[in-house]
Structure 1
Amino acid sequence: MILGLNVLAVILLLTLDFEAGWDFATYSYPEFWTPVGFVRNLFFNGWHPVVPWLGFLLLGVLLSRLPLDRPTVQGMLIAAGLTAIALAETAAAALRAAFGHLDPELAEVLTTGAVPATPLYTLAGSGFAACLIGACLWLADRPVMAPVLRLVTPAGRQALTLYLAHILVGMVTLDMLGLLGGQSIGTALSAAGLFCMASLVYALAWSRRFKRGPVEGLMRRLAG
């Protein structure tokens, strides 16, 4: 299924105009609120289109079925992730060297970049995710990490709430301050660090009164 989504993504890239609807000078999508533009953005050429991003969701479901508490599985995730990253980056470099000179636009596709999301990107992203998950699980079992886990666990239990908040609160605030586009690396890191600190404080305070985050609680009520 995951491979099929990536094959479908390549077919769409070859047959449709990936730049349709985009203004790459400003990285805006003027046609987003039109019926055709919304569907195109959602399924094909948005920042996180259904094809092939659904593959990451399916990979997460597969990983959740593994006995993740076992050190051998954690080590396997780290090793497999590093291997996938190395394969993706090596293949991208080799393909650019072999075919990139034929067309400058072709060279832009033969990468592990997220736009457009090609199979090499999916392989590299999946590898990085698996490696990071394995490393975090391995570290979580170390006694020295217990104080850190007590600090970050409430935020981890409210991941959906905080994800939406970083868009609706964090990015909207930066946009109102004129800091969303073209900011320096220092400004971006400072904003990210400030949001992370605020998220930890909020999550700790919320968890003392409620079992779930606001969005997680709503999802629980809707899903049953």
Structure 2
Amino acid sequence: MSQSKTRITALDFARALAIFGMILVNYKLAMQAEHSGPGWLQSIAGLFEGRASALFVVLAGIGVALMTSKARNSMNGELIRQSRNSLYKRAAFLFIAGVLLLLMGWSADILHYYAVFMLVAAVLITVSDNKILGLFSMILVASQLFLVMFDYTKGWNLSFKDYTGFWTIEGFIRNLLFNGFHPIFPWLSFFLIGMWIGRKRWLNKENRSKVLLYSLSGTVVFESLSFFLIKWASPGLGNEAAHYLFGTKPMPPTMLYVLSGICSAMAVIAICLYVVDKFEQSVLTQALISTGQLSLSHYIGHVVIGLGMLNITGYLENGGLVFAMAYGCLYFLMAIIFSHMWRKWMTRGPIELLMRKLC
């Protein structure tokens, strides 16, 4: 298998892991099971919070960079126009899909945010690497300032489950840009750093060990920095305010959370490159690669089918953390089996086929 082929299938493998993490987090969230169950399971479940979806968005940025590389490298006007039109259509498709999930009651949707990422990517196809890094830095700093300047809790109830005024223009824009589950400030940073990494040779075999070492080191550094800043600031600001400004949980999304999330995402991607390189012929590896290739179908499916079944059976309101985790693992296992069988006959997933046909 060629190096570029291994790289792309490793990204699919990583995408499958991101979907798995998102399923666990979302089922725990939907069942309101964060504080139930044994402490060790709460700790394990907490590891996926904001990390799986960050990995998903970084991978999206890398994917778009690879998809538009021919247009960018050739600077051919027609190729650039075609790439932009494709991204505009995908943005429209993802926005409609996301809004439909929101209308079904899935408030934690990521797809309508993705639509904005695709629009930004279309504009940035021909922009230099340094400008993308500059934009990344500006969004990161602005996001941290916004947390100080504006009321992050506006619209949310005390449990951060219901958002008042979401379907008003002001509420929708506030949620989209600032205090939703994956707001543009700072979640666009994950996408931009993915685009930047996708343009580099970082994912090639000779750089793999460096990426793994630097990303693991970065995760430890940013998590340690968060710990010590919270400890230092707590006596003066109070524990809650210190966590608000320097924590590494996804809500509120601080600068340290984004930097730590990028590092942990790159560490997972580097590990996936090693795994696929070594075990590419394994049935499980191939099945997980297929699962990653159907990631959009599985994202929509885990909400419509997975949560739909819980709603019908009455477990949505009555499932604890143990049940949420077990159900998430079972759902993902079924997703792997489905993906492996589906890819024997079809090149793309059901939703991916629909998007390809329309876009």
TM-score, with structure 2 as normaliser: 0.58
After superposition, where does 1:7-156 map in structure 2 within 5 Å? 7-25=141-159, 27-67=161-201, 70-104=204-238, 105-109=240-244, 110-143=246-279, 146-156=282-292
Equivalence for 2:24 = none
- What is the CA–CA distance in structure 1 between the aligned matches of 2:198 and 2:157, rounded to whole Å? 38
The code of the aligned residue for 1:120 comes to: L
Q: Is the 8 A contact 2:247 2:257 kept in 1?
A: yes
Q: Is the 8 A contact 2:155 2:171 kept in 1?
A: yes
How many angstroms does 1:16 deviate by?
A: 0.9
1:176, distance to aligned residue in structure 2 (A): 4.3
Q: Which amino acid aligns with 2:199?
A: R
Unaligned runs of 5+ in 2: 1-134
Question: How many residues align structurally?
Answer: 223
Look up the SS of the partner of 1:47 in the other structure.
coil
Q: Contact conserved, 2:280 with 2:286, CA < 8 A, in 1? A: no
Structure 1: gaps spanning 5 or more residues? none
Q: Please list the CA deviations of residues 73-130 of structure 1 after superposition, one character each: whole Å capped at 9, or x if unmatched.
A: 2212211211211111111112112112223331221211110001100011101100
Q: What is the correspondence of 1:122-201 to structure 2 with a 5 Å cutoff?
A: 122-143=258-279, 146-180=282-316, 183-201=319-337
Query: What CA distance in whole angstroms lies between the structure 1 residues aligned with 2:183 and 2:340?
Result: 33
Alignment-mate amino acid for residue 277 of structure 2? D
C-alpha deviations, 1:10-59, integer Å up to 9, x for none? 12111111000001236221322222111111110011111110111112
1:195 offset after TM fit, Å? 1.1
Report which stretch shifted further, 202-211 or 106-115: 202-211
Structure ranking higher on relative contact order (CA contacts 8 Å, 6+ apart): 2
Task: Measure the CA separation in 1 of the matches of 2:349 and 2:250.
Answer: 30
Alpha-carbon deviations, 1:123-163, whole Å to 9, x = none? 11101100000001111111476322222221111111111
Aligned equivalents of 1:133, 1:26: Cα separation in 2: 31
Aligned-pair identity in percent equals 28
Whole-angstrom distance in 1 between the partners of 2:282 and 2:291 = 15
* 2:19 corresponding residue in structure 1: none
Which stretch shifts more, 59-68 or 78-87?
59-68
Contact 1:77 1:133 in 2 (8 A): no
Q: 1:108 to 1:173 in 2, by over 3 A?
A: farther
Distance across 1 between alignment mates of 2:284 and 2:202: 20
